[in-house]
Amino acid sequence: MTEELNIRQFFTSFVKFIVRNNKLIYSMIIIGVLSVIIFQKFKTPYYETKAICMSGISKYERVDYEEGWLQRTAIDLINYLEINIENKDYNELAYLLGIDISVAQKIKKIEAEQLFQKDMNEEFFSLNKFEVMLVVFDNNIISEIQEGLLYYFNSNNYVKKYYEEFIESSNKIILDINQEMKLLEKIRIEGSKNRMDFSSSLKVINGQEKSEVSNQIVALSQYREDIRTQKELLKPLSFVQDFAKVNQKEDDILIWSILVSFLSFLISLFVALIKEIINN
């Protein structure tokens, strides 16, 4: 009972304290909110956009990555750029992206993260794609940054070396398959003449999948086209969805207004308390 009376008395005293100093409290809150609005209106606006990408680097490396790490190298390469942005090293950033330094100075943030999807069992699994978030102070440079990212990947010595090796080995495999197909065709023709049956089955291993077909030539042709498709489409960096061209600038007026209002309220209580102590 005594505790309830103490709580009620404290609450009553607090309300009376607020009422006595309401002008001071309201004034400081209004000043704080107006300061946020003015600051947001006059600060440099920024724009946020996103793109969906994929990379064939893990295929070039020929390493059996876990599913969630297939795009890890590409993601790390993009996130590495954030170091230059945070350190305001725009000369290095401009060099890496192959852009003018004035364009590099307008980049506020760039970040990549793995994309996931939920299956029927409500479990998440990683996709072979990742998302890139780009924040810039000028929405007219978005397409230029996209081209810069392509240049960044294509000119990276590590990626370039593995990509060239991947293309060379793919061409060699295709050449070997073509020669093998010619040999099989020759054998079939000769066998047909001699009324021999050279039909057989063959298992072709392509990545993690095995497909069994009844005709060697068809199997080799299928394997060749798979390799050719990978060679043509698996680039160091590809944009599945380009960066969206945004015109609406981002601001944090609501969030900062709430935070500053709360902070102003606390400060006003402290000032009002000191004021009453002095007056008494």
Count of C-beta atoms within a 10 Å radius of residue 155: 14
pLDDT for the residue 52: 95
How high is the pLDDT of residue 276?
74
- In the three-class reduction of DSSP (H, G, I as helix; E, B as strand; rest coil), residue 163 is classed as helix
pLDDT at 213: 33
Closest-CA residue to 65 (of 227, 170, 56, 118): 56
Structural domain boundaries in the chain: 47-156+236-252, 165-233
Rounded CA separation 49/245 (Å) = 7
CATH of 47-156+236-252 given 1.10.287, 3.30.70, 1.20.120, 2.60.40: 3.30.70
Which residues, at least 6 apart from 19, have a Cβ–Cβ distance to it below 8 Å? none
The string of pLDDT tens digits covering residues 178-193 is: 888 888 777 777 665 5
The pLDDT tens digits for 114-172 are 988 776 676 767 788 999 999 999 999 999 999 999 999 999 999 999 999 999 999 99
Q: Both ends of the chain: CA-CA distance in Å?
A: 31
Encoding tokens for residue 112? 């990549």
**108 and 135 Cβ atoms separated by less than 8 Å:** yes
Main-chain phi, psi angles of 97, to 5 degrees: -90, -10
Calculate the dihedral angle through the C-alpha atoms of 216, 218, 221, 225, rounding to the nearest 10 degrees: -130
Q: Which of 138, 146, 127, 130 is nearest to 242 (CA)?
A: 146
Beta bridge partners of 213: 202
d(CA 218, CA 212): 11
Q: pLDDT of the chain along its 280 residues, tens only?
A: 566 656 777 777 777 777 778 888 888 888 887 777 777 676 677 899 999 999 989 888 876 666 555 788 999 999 999 999 999 999 999 999 999 999 999 999 999 999 887 766 767 677 889 999 999 999 999 999 999 999 999 999 999 999 999 999 999 999 988 888 888 777 777 665 555 444 444 444 444 333 333 467 788 888 888 888 888 888 999 999 999 888 776 666 677 778 888 888 888 878 877 877 777 6
Q: Which residues of 25-36 are buried (b: 16+ CB within 10 A; e: fewer)?
A: beebbeebbeeb
